[in-house]
Amino acid sequence: MRIAVFSTKPYDVKYLAQASGDTHELAFFDARLSLDTVPLAAGAQVICPFVNDDLSEPVIAALADGGVKLIALRSAGFNHVDLAAADKAGIVVARVPAYSPHAVAEHSVAMMLTLNRKTHRAYNGVREGNFALDGLLGFDLHAKTVGIVGTGQIGAVVARILNGFGCCLLAHDPVQNPACEALGVRYVGLDELFGLSDVITLQCPLTPQTHHLIDAVAIAKMKRGVMLINTSRGAVVDTGAMIGGLKSGVIGSVGLDVYEEEADLFFQDLSNSFISDDLFARLLTFPNVLITGHQGFFTHEALTAIAEMTIANVTGFQRDGEPLYRVPGASDR
Ligand code: NAI
């Protein structure tokens, strides 16, 4: 099948071409998918978008008009797809549900360790000949309470790693994970998690229920000096409220791999330009805020699995009319 790949980076070409071999015809486009770039999909039965591509109703309708039958997401999250519009247009949506929970979980923990021991600042200081320790004081993670919001595949790996550090683990999730319970993770209500946690890490999907889960009301319930990590989706956090929390000192440090308005920033080199997003620019002024540009998934193992599952979704769809990992339509929910 012909697959139009949007938001292509050099690593996408390498891994997808390797996984596909001669099986499918891949057409790579640097452009993000939008109403303006839909014509690039001409002649393709499948499109392969990434997390910041536009999959709203008008774009999906235009894709269907052009003969697209399958949206093969190369991501786990599908919050950016209008599933009702896909149903209506008769387009099947597939995703890669679990490519490497370790990649994202390890990135969450890397952010905790960096923020705590300030290795990002120490690295720069030492290169400038500054070996003073002032400003670098951290704490033992051992025996600290970490609250994990969402204990699916990624949250469960975070729990396992932090269990190794000797942390006391709390979790909130409508579905309790037996693997986490076996580790001694205690499931609590959100308010209790907010009130007791020294570190809060968000590992849940973005849904209507989790949109702005961390807002001013939630922050007011948190322990003073709490560390907040978000490697899930930007809009789980109300950015303005988080900045308020940082300014008041309730939030002691923040690690973000995702940002509410990341679509116009991340995955691009803007170093010769300027940042027009004032909230994001404000975040960059805090020494206790660490931001990475949505790189949680970015490991060799994860890219290999993403490419293989994406191609397997297309092959399954071509063979049986059914991808390997279909996202249930809006009407099935
Ligand atoms: P998963 O589906 O295995 O687990 C998600 C968990 O969140 C489930 O246990 C679910 O019950 C829980 N959940 C749902 N609503 C909740 C709520 N209101 N409060 C608390 N928990 C809730 O998904 P997985 O693989 O663990 O991924 C989680 C999210 O991580 C993805 O949806 C995606 O947004 C994000 N992600 C980020 C990446 C990155 O590169 N930074 C890469 C991959 C995923």
Whole-angstrom Cα Rg for the chain: 21
Question: Which amino acid, 178?
Answer: P
Judgement on whether residues 106 and 95 belong to the same structural domain of the protein: no
Instruction: Look at residue 52 and tell me whether its pLDDT is greater than 70.
Output: yes
Specify the pLDDT at position 70: 98
Cα gap 176→172, rounded to integer Å: 8
The answer to whether 310 touches 19, Cβ cutoff 8 Å, is yes
The pTM of the full predicted model, rounded to 2 decimals, is 0.93
Judgement on whether residues 223 and 280 belong to the same structural domain of the protein: yes
Cα gap 294→292, rounded to integer Å: 6
Instruction: Look at residue 330 and tell me whether its pLDDT is greater than 90.
Output: no
Burial of 239 per CB tally in 10 Å (0-12, 13-18, 19+)? buried
> Which ligand 1 atom lies nearest to the CA of residue 149?
20
Cα gap 289→285, rounded to integer Å: 8
The answer to whether 49 touches 8, Cβ cutoff 8 Å, is no
Mean pLDDT confidence for 228-244? 98
Mean pLDDT confidence for 212-226? 98
Instruction: Look at residue 287 and tell me whether its pLDDT is greater than 90.
Output: yes
The answer to whether 95 touches 76, Cβ cutoff 8 Å, is yes
Judgement on whether residues 109 and 76 belong to the same structural domain of the protein: no
Judgement on whether residues 148 and 233 belong to the same structural domain of the protein: yes
- Is the CB of 296 within 6 Å of ligand 1? yes
How many A from CA of 232 to the centre of ligand 1?
Answer: 6
Judgement on whether residues 148 and 246 belong to the same structural domain of the protein: yes
Cα gap 156→97, rounded to integer Å: 15
Judgement on whether residues 14 and 145 belong to the same structural domain of the protein: no
Q: Which of 81, 149, 173, 309 to mutate to test the pocket of ligand 1 (most atoms within 8 A of CB)?
A: 173
Judgement on whether residues 94 and 106 belong to the same structural domain of the protein: no
What range does the domain containing 84 cover?
2-99+300-332
Query: Residue 49: which CATH number?
Result: 3.40.50.720
Mean pLDDT confidence for 287-301? 97
Instruction: Look at residue 221 and tell me whether its pLDDT is greater than 80.
Output: yes
> Which ligand 1 atom lies nearest to the CA of residue 297?
40
- Is the CB of 82 within 6 Å of ligand 1? no
- For residues 264 and 241, which has the higher predicted lDDT (pLDDT)? 241
Judgement on whether residues 95 and 130 belong to the same structural domain of the protein: no
Question: Which amino acid, 80?
Answer: H
Mean pLDDT confidence for 138-152? 98
Judgement on whether residues 219 and 109 belong to the same structural domain of the protein: yes
CB count, 10 Å around CB of 323? 24
For the question of residue 80 being annotated catalytic, the response is no
Question: Which amino acid, 248?
Answer: S
For the question of residue 233 being annotated catalytic, the response is yes
- Is the CB of 232 within 6 Å of ligand 1? yes
For the question of residue 294 being annotated catalytic, the response is yes
- Is the CB of 260 within 6 Å of ligand 1? no
Specify the pLDDT at position 98: 84
Mean pLDDT confidence for 219-243? 98
Judgement on whether residues 134 and 269 belong to the same structural domain of the protein: yes
Q: Whose CA is nearest to atom 9 of ligand 1?
A: 152
Q: What percent of the chain has pLDDT over 90?
A: 96
Q: Which ranges in the chain belong to alpha helices (H)?
A: 10-20, 57-65, 83-89, 101-117, 119-127, 153-164, 178-183, 190-196, 216-220, 239-248, 278-283, 300-320
Write the CA distances from 333 to 54, 61, 81, 94, 249, integer angstroms.
22, 21, 14, 15, 41
pLDDT tens profile 82-102: 999 999 999 999 999 988 899
Q: Which of 107, 204, 327 to mutate to test the pocket of ligand 1 (most atoms within 8 A of CB)?
A: 204
Judgement on whether residues 43 and 93 belong to the same structural domain of the protein: yes
Judgement on whether residues 314 and 241 belong to the same structural domain of the protein: no
Work out how many domains the chain is built from and give that number.
2
- Is the CB of 306 within 6 Å of ligand 1? no
Cα gap 172→149, rounded to integer Å: 5
